[in-house]
Chain A
Amino acid sequence: MADKDHSATDDVALVRAAQQGDMGAFEELVARHRDKIYARAYSMMRNEDEAIDLSQEAWVKGWQRLVQFQGDSSFTTWMTRITINLCLDQLRRKKRHRTESIEEMDEESGGVERQLPVVTVNPTERLERAELRVRIDRALSQLSAAHRTVMVLHEFEQMEYKAIARTMNCSIGTVMSRLFYARRKMAALLQDLQRPE
Chain B
Amino acid sequence: MKQDLQLKLQAYLDGELPAGEGKTIAALVARDADARAMLAELTHTRSALAGFESDIKLPETREFYWSKIAREIQRQETKSPERTAVSSFFFLRRLAVPSGVMFALLLGVLVVKQQLGFDRRVAVVETDTAQVDAGTFTYHDFASGTTLVWLSYPAEKEFAESGSADTISWE
Q: Is there contact, CB below 8 Å, between B72 and A133?
A: no
Q: Is there contact, CB below 8 Å, between B7 and A60?
A: no
- B38, B46, B69, B76, most chain A CB atoms within 10 A: B69
- The contact of B10 among A38, A124, A155, A176, by CB within 8 Å, is A176
Q: Is there contact, CB below 8 Å, between B45 and A187?
A: yes
Where chain B touches its partner, the secondary structure class is: helix
- Judged by a CB distance under 8 angstroms, whether A69 is at the interface is no
CA distance A126 to B7 in the complex (A): 29
- The contact of B46 among A27, A40, A114, A155, by CB within 8 Å, is A155
- Judged by a CB distance under 8 angstroms, whether B97 is at the interface is no
- B38, B48, B56, B60, most chain A CB atoms within 10 A: B48
Q: From known contacts A187-B45, A190-B45, infer whether A39 and B53 are also in contact, taking CB-CB under 8 Å.
A: yes
Q: From known contacts A34-B62, A187-B44, infer whether A156 and B68 are also in contact, taking CB-CB under 8 Å.
A: no
Q: Chain B interface: which of A70-78, A100-108, A115-123?
A: A115-123
Q: Chain B interface: which of A9-17, A87-95, A177-185?
A: A177-185
Q: Is there contact, CB below 8 Å, between A30 and B45?
A: no
CA distance A55 to B68 in the complex (A): 11
Q: From known contacts A118-B37, A180-B6, infer whether A160 and B53 are also in contact, taking CB-CB under 8 Å.
A: no
Q: Interface range on chain B: under 10, 10 to 19, 20 to 34, or 35 or more? A: 35 or more
- The contact of A56 among B47, B72, B76, by CB within 8 Å, is B72
CA distance A129 to B54 in the complex (A): 12
Residues of A contacting B68 in the complex (Cβ-Cβ under 8 angstroms): 56
Please, how many residues of chain A have a CB less than 8 angstroms from a CB on the other chain?
A: 48
- Judged by a CB distance under 8 angstroms, whether B66 is at the interface is yes
- Judged by a CB distance under 8 angstroms, whether B34 is at the interface is yes
Residues of B contacting A23 in the complex (Cβ-Cβ under 8 angstroms): 70, 73
- Judged by a CB distance under 8 angstroms, whether A166 is at the interface is no
Chain B interface residues toward A at CB < 8 A: 3, 6-7, 10-11, 14, 16, 34, 37-38, 40-42, 44-50, 52-60, 62, 65-66, 68-70, 72-73, 76
**11 new A-B pairs (CB below 8 Å) besides A183-B10, A184-B45, A187-B44?**
A42-B56, A43-B56, A114-B6, A118-B40, A120-B37, A124-B47, A133-B55, A177-B7, A180-B10, A180-B42, A187-B45
